[in-house]
Structure 1
Amino acid sequence: MSVHDELTSLQRCLDDLQRSVGRLEKHIGGGALDMRRVRTDADHLRESVALLREAAARTAAAPRRPELVTIPDTPYDDSLWIDTDDEGLGGRDRHAP
């Protein structure tokens, strides 16, 4: 199964859980500590699955391999560095200690 199929199946299970929790609340009452805890846990599961769905969508949208960039073997033009100093060595007319 694909990730999308698994998440859809999980979402259906959570929908069933929400319906079952709702029926239990009608029988037991929603004010009991245990029932509130079950409701909160079910809500947290729903939020977590929503985060997983977003993460899966980002992963699917992102390219799997970065595009390769060819770097030529030819030396760079020295005129690009005329006005710079060699880092850590001082200027061209000075010597390192």
Structure 2
Amino acid sequence: MSVHDELTSAQRSLDELLRSVKRLEQQLGSGGLEMRRVRMDADRLRESLALLREADAGPAKPRRPELVSISDTPYDNTLWTDSDDEGLGARDRRAP
């Protein structure tokens, strides 16, 4: 059997286990410590099997970042009239 077939078989068995746990909860009640532990263990198995399925799907192909085109035209100089040159201070004052 292939890994995919084994995972499918495990999923079917887990689904049956979850149905049985649900029936037990209905008969015994869900308030007891033992029943809560069984429910948590079954849920953890479901999550673990989902992780195995994701791992079997193979590593996700890295997405290429979306390219952003930057224009070669110069910026409008009026955008910079209210700013100081970094590290040099204001234009009308001397640096120490």
Match runs of 1:25-44 below 5 Å: 25-44=25-44
| Matched residues, number | 61
Give the 3-state SS of the residue equivalent to 1:30 in structure 2. coil
More helix by share: 1
Code of the residue aligned with 1:26 in structure 2: it is Q
Please list every run of 5 or more consecutive structure 2 residues that lacks an aligned counterpart in the other structure.
Answer: 62-96
Taking the aligned partners of 1:15 and 1:54, their CA distance within structure 2 comes to: 18
User: Hey, what does 2:48 align to over in structure 1?
Assistant: 48
Taking the aligned partners of 1:58 and 1:47, their CA distance within structure 2 comes to: 18
TM-score, length-scaled by structure 2: 0.61
Taking the aligned partners of 1:51 and 1:25, their CA distance within structure 2 comes to: 26
Q: CA RMSD in A?
A: 1.4
Q: Percent identity?
A: 70
Taking the aligned partners of 1:23 and 1:9, their CA distance within structure 2 comes to: 21
Please list every run of 5 or more consecutive structure 1 residues that lacks an aligned counterpart in the other structure.
Answer: 63-97
The alpha carbon displacement at 1:41 in A equals 0.1
Match runs of 1:75-86 below 5 Å: none
Code of the residue aligned with 1:5 in structure 2: it is D
Taking the aligned partners of 1:15 and 1:56, their CA distance within structure 2 comes to: 19
Match runs of 1:1-97 below 5 Å: 1-58=1-58
Q: Runs (4+) of structure 1 moved beyond 2 Å?
A: none
TM-score, length-scaled by structure 1: 0.60
